[in-house]
Amino acid sequence: MTLTYRKAQNEDSSLLIDIYNAAFYDDYKHYGECPAYGRTKEQMELSIANSPKYIILNGDIPVGVISYQHKGNGEYYLGCLCVIPKYQGTGIGTMAFQYLLLLCHDWKRITLITPSDKEQNIKFYTEKCGFYIGDRVMDGNVEVIQFYMER
């Protein structure tokens, strides 16, 4: 499998919405809410402006998205790492995270959150990416775990 990454532009907003909706539909159904699901074109364009997003391509097929925020002083927040369900479990997420580390070459600390009952996500971030589990907090009606990694 050969992955490439393309920085998203405003004209990619509909494609990003499709990828996010595919990746986060189950979360929306399960929790009744999901900030990544059901975005409008305007919301996605604002998100593109505020957080660099990279479309993950397997050949010429868009299979996921990775996005982050640079908080300054080598601190980054991983806002989204999503893979369309039919491509999950193939190593795409792990390779995309390695790509993020190259993009954010000056990183000292990376943080993220994921729902506390998403065992597959917890295993992925701790075992495949090297994150540590931090605090549990409420995000709306959903309990989430804060993850971090430092060097």
- Can you give the pLDDT at residue 125? 98
Domain count, the chain: 1
| pTM of the predicted structure, to 2 decimals | 0.95
- Give backbone dihedrals phi and psi of 52, rounded to 5 degrees, phi first: -55, 135
Q: Is residue 43 part of a domain?
A: yes
Give, in degrees to the nearest 5, the angle at Cα 36 between 102 and 149.
35
Interval 115-144: pLDDT, tens = 999 999 999 999 999 999 999 999 988 999
The mean pLDDT of the chain is 96
Assess whether pLDDT exceeds 90 at residue 113: yes
Q: Is residue 116 part of a domain?
A: no
- Can you give the pLDDT at residue 1? 83
Other CB atoms within a 10 A radius of the CB of residue 117 amount to 13
- Whole-Å CA distances, 74 to 9, 22, 58, 107, 140: 24, 32, 29, 4, 28
Q: Is residue 86 part of a domain?
A: yes
Q: Is residue 29 part of a domain?
A: yes
Q: Is residue 138 part of a domain?
A: no
Cβ contact 74:108 at 8 Å: yes
Convert 77-88 into a string of H (helix), E (strand) and C (coil).
Answer: EEEEEEECHHHC
Assess whether pLDDT exceeds 90 at residue 24: yes
Interval 64-95: pLDDT, tens = 999 999 999 999 999 999 999 999 999 999 99
- Can you give the pLDDT at residue 140? 86
Q: Is residue 26 part of a domain?
A: yes
If DSSP codes are grouped into helix, strand and coil, which group holds residue 130?
coil
CATH number, domain containing residue 84: 3.40.630.30
Q: Is 53 exposed, middle or buried (0-12, 13-18, 19+ CB in 10 A)?
A: buried
DSSP H or E stretch at residue 139: strand 132-139
Average of pLDDT values for 12-36?
95
In the chain, pLDDT over 70 holds for what percent of residues?
100
Q: Is 29 exposed, middle or buried (0-12, 13-18, 19+ CB in 10 A)?
A: exposed
In the chain, pLDDT over 90 holds for what percent of residues?
95
